[in-house]
Structure 1
Amino acid sequence: MTRRGALALTGGALFALAPLSALALTEARARALVQSLVDEINAVIASGKSEAAMYRDFERIFNRYADVPTVALYTLGVDGRSATAAQKRAYIDAFRGYIARKYGSRFREFIGGRLEVQGVTQIKNYYQVRTTAYLRGEDPFFVDFHVSDRSGEDRFFNMFIEGVNLLLSEREEIGAMLDRRGRNLDRLIADLRTMG
């Protein structure tokens, strides 16, 4: 599996714990979130389940740990500003399913690998949690999760694989999809419901 493939897989695992407490996000909470995420990913990888079952597990993991609305709306770029509230809700829902199908299908390539949490660094008002990915036949490499509580819960909202930014990559891809559909958001929403 290539690092690009790992980005696709982990990114999807790319995009909740208890509700936000009175205290702001801490280093310990950011680490705990990513450790729980990594533990669940590793358990699915080692489970020996069918690809369809792994996909369902992946969708559950993505919905639990990623700040899906933030990721989805960011990928729309300027088109999100002119979208109606109903279009935004429909897009978030379609994007959630699209990402889960797109990246969940890559789980088989990750079998035999694992992620390990290494450390946490505060960056402005969020934390970067560094993990190391170990894949068969590949040198280990870093996967950095960006964690925030701005949504009201501790969630990851972005990740980097050796400098490759998941949010920017998805934004470029969604932008290209919109271009092919004449910037028609409703068409994109309809198509995302079956893509992945």
Structure 2
Amino acid sequence: MTTFPKSLSRRAFIKAGAVVATAAIGGSAAVAGEKDHPSVAFMRKVGKDLLEAHRQGTVNAFLNVIQRYADVPEIALYSLGQYKANLGAAQRPRYFRGVAVFMSRYFADQSREYPIAKYEVGEATTDGKDVTVSSRIFLMSGQTYTVNWRLVWRNKSYKVADAKVLGFSMIYMQRGIFTSYLSKRKGDLFQLMTALEG
């Protein structure tokens, strides 16, 4: 079975972070009653379930959370970049699940390396289209860092569309990983899907 290189998840995300750091970030405005905004309540629930998955540290635990709360189809399509047109309708369910598994493996790996003590959900802001909810992560080591969650409204509920860790967009970095992989394989999505499932 074809798989991504063992170091792909961590090293590629870190390397891509240097690129993301140069990207422009648009301004935002506070949402009225931001601490009581429905997006904040949504992120408290996501945070609670993510922390539980983190403590279990398994791919399946994270997969359940990602499939429940993330906008997997849009994240998956965005991640294909210029290869999006190569994805047929019949391939979508397999590819979408593969993306969710890939993300789950990454988070499970990180949960072992960077154990989290607690988190705090902050305020909600909007750019007029999507809502961003800030959070603060506290590691067992005593270190802290910020994660900003971009939410979109899908089917009468919020979904997580991106997470910016220390300002680095996770989906932007994931797109770089996928398109780089595909460029070396003539855009063969079958190879990508097989690797995602590995």
TM beyond 0.5: yes
Are 2:176 and 1:167 equivalent residues in the alignment?
no
Residue 142 of structure 1, CA deviation: 1.1
Residue 72 of structure 1, CA deviation: 0.6
Give identity over the alignment, percent. Answer: 21
Q: Secondary structure at the match of 1:124?
A: coil
Give the counterpart of 2:93 among 51, 71, 89: 89
Q: Is contact 1:120-1:127 (8 Å) kept?
A: yes
Residue 82 of structure 1, CA deviation: 3.3
Q: Is contact 1:59-1:104 (8 Å) kept?
A: no
**1:68 alignment counterpart:** 72
Per-residue displacement from partner, 1:131-190 (whole Å, max 9, x unpaired)?
A: 011113354221000011145531110111121011110000001111222211112112
Equivalent pairs, count:
168
Residue 114 of structure 1, CA deviation: 2.0
CA distance in 1, matches of 2:172, 2:66: 18
CA distance in 2, matches of 1:129, 1:169: 20
| Alignment root-mean-square deviation, CA | 2.4
Q: Is contact 1:128-1:146 (8 Å) kept?
A: yes
Q: Residue type matched to 2:115 in 1? A: I
Q: Secondary structure at the match of 2:176?
A: helix
**1:143 alignment counterpart:** 147
Cα separation, partners in 2 of 1:101 and 1:44, compared to 1, 3 Å: closer
CA distance in 2, matches of 1:112, 1:32: 21
**1:19 alignment counterpart:** none
Name stretches of at least 5 consecutive residues in structure 2 with no aligned partner. 1-9, 15-32
Q: Residue type matched to 2:42 in 1? A: L
Residue 129 of structure 1, CA deviation: 0.2
Q: Residue type matched to 1:39 in 2? A: K
Give the counterpart of 1:122 among 126, 131, 134: 126
Per-residue displacement from partner, 1:14-58 (whole Å, max 9, x unpaired)?
A: xxxxxxxxxxxx96221111110111222344x5x4x4xx33221
Give the counterpart of 1:131 among 117, 126, 135: 135
Are 2:159 and 1:155 equivalent residues in the alignment?
yes
